[in-house]
C-alpha cells in the first residue's frame, strides 16, 4: 500500500530505473515497517525548473495508509536525499518531498478499498 513516486529531469536508462525503483521500495518499506511486497515505486521523467533554474532536480511523493509522522517523515527525507544524491547526482536543495497519509477508504487494491 505505500507508494513512492519520483519525478526527475535526470536521464537514466531502464536498467538504472529498475535498480533505483528497487532501492526506493526497500527504503520506504524499512522506514515504514511494512513489507516491501506492498510497496509500489513509480519513476517518471519530466521537465523541472526549480527557483526558475534548470538543472538536476526531483519531486518525490510518499503516500501510505498509516505509518507517516514527523519522525518517520524526517528519517525518510534524509534517506531519500542521500539516495538521490548518490545515484542521480541531485543536490538535496534541488529535491522536494511530500508526504500523504491516506485513509483506507481512499485507497483501493484488487478491486476494493482497504476499509
Overall number of domains in the chain: 1
pLDDT tens for 87-97 read: 999 999 999 99
Q: Is 35 noted as a catalytic residue in this protein? A: no
**pTM, full prediction:** 0.94
Q: Is residue 113 part of a domain?
A: no
Task: State the residue range of the domain holding 95.
Answer: 3-108
**Could you tell me if residue 21 is inside a domain?**
yes
d(CA 1, CA 114): 9
Convert the pLDDT of each residue in 24-38 to its tens digit: 999 999 999 999 999
Task: Give the CATH number, domain containing residue 17.
Answer: 3.30.429.10
* 29 belongs to a structural domain: yes
Catalytic site residue from 2, 25, 39, 68 = 2
Amino acid at each position: 500500500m505505500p507508494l513512492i513516486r519520483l519525478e526527475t529531469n535526470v536521464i537514466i536508462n531502464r536498467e538504472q530505473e529498475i535498480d533505483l525503483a528497487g532501492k526506493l521500495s526497500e527504503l520506504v518499506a524499512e522506514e515504514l515497517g511494512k513489507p516491501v511486497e506492498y510497496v509500489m515505486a513509480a519513476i517518471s521523467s519530466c521537465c523541472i525548473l526549480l527557483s526558475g533554474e534548470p538543472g538536476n532536480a526531483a519531486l518525490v511523493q510518499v503516500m501510505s495508509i498509516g505509518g507517516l509522522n514527523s519522525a518517520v517523515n524526517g528519517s525518510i527525507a534524509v534517506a531519500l536525499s542521500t539516495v538521490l544524491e548518490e545515484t542521480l547526482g541531485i543536490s538535496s536543495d534541488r529535491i522536494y518531498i511530500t508526504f500523504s497519509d491516506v485513509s483506507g477508504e481512499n485507497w483501493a487494491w484488487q478491486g476494493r478499498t482497504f476499509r
